[in-house]
Amino acid sequence: MIPVITIDGPSGSGKGTLARRLATRLGFHLLDSGAIYRLTALAAAQAGVALDAPEVVTLAQTLDARFAPDGSIYLAGVCVDGVLRTEQTGAMASQIAARPEVRAALFDRQKAFARAPGLVADGRDMGTVVFPEAPAKIFLDASAEIRAERRYKQLIENGFYAKLPALIAEIRERDQRDRSRAVAPLVPAADALVIDSSALPIETVEAQVMDFIHARGLNQVY
């Protein structure tokens, strides 16, 4: 059985950074499921398709996406790293992610990322819906204020305009939408290791997760 490590959590919790570090450390494949939803939302925006339109399902099924080894993400052959990480694209992705038919269209595509020697899957429902059989599940969280500060620094460093109070409000709104949706709500898996990263450096979080992986019987990935 191919080992899968899932890392779920809200936006800005640090799950993407942790997933990349673990994938590099273990030599595993990486799935950024949030990027797939963002790519679908971005494809809809570029095509002038409303987020609640039936055509979004077709876009999800035919999405021309590529994840480069250096971490760059391409949509229809064009690198979209910058626009993909904006709050606007994230909010659009959250909206389409609440649609059952869109989630169904992207389900098999996400499952296909589980290939030897293993996979680190980062998202919001990796451990509860997509890979419920995964032997190691992590749920990474942080306060809305801390997550907003992290996003603010990211956006400013990448040349985007942002206001911290607005980011806090947007994150809280997205949290409410993600946690209350009827389909695949944002909750920890019953057997997940839950970590609040608000006051923890990434190195400490990574060490805790590696200890958890070992405890779950995955010591062969060291």
In 3D, which of 23, 7, 26 has the Cα closest to residue 15? 7
The answer to whether residue 89 sits within a structural domain is yes
Percentages helix, strand, coil for the chain (3-state, rounded to 5) are 50, 15, 35
- Please return the burial class of 214, using the count of CB atoms within 10 Å of its CB with bins 0-12, 13-18 and 19+: middle
Determine the structural domain holding residue 88 and report its residue range: 4-217
Mean pLDDT of the chain: 89
Whole-model pTM?
0.79
Q: How far is CA 48 from CA 54, 56, 209, in A?
A: 13, 10, 42
The answer to whether residue 222 sits within a structural domain is no
Q: What is the pLDDT of residues 78-98, one digit of tens each?
A: 999 888 878 789 889 988 988
Q: Cα–chain-centroid distance for residue 99? A: 17
* Cis peptide upstream of residue 117 (ω within 30 degrees of 0): yes
Residue with tokens 């949706």, as numbered in its chain: 181
Check residue 222 and give its pLDDT.
Answer: 41
Across the beta sheet with 73-75, what order do the strands follow?
65-67, 73-75, 78-79
Backbone phi and psi for residue 5, each to the nearest 5 degrees, phi listed first: -115, 120
Residue 76 exposure: Cα atoms within 13 Å on the Cβ side: 11
Tokens of residue 90, six digits: 């994230």
* Nearest-angstrom CA–CA distance, 31 and 71: 11
pLDDT, average across residues 48-59: 94
Q: What is the pLDDT of residues 160-211, one digit of tens each?
A: 778 889 899 988 888 888 887 777 788 999 999 999 999 999 999 999 999 9
Answer whether residue 72 shows pLDDT above 50.
Answer: yes
CATH number assigned to the domain comprising residue 212: 3.40.50.300
| Number of separate domains in the chain | 1
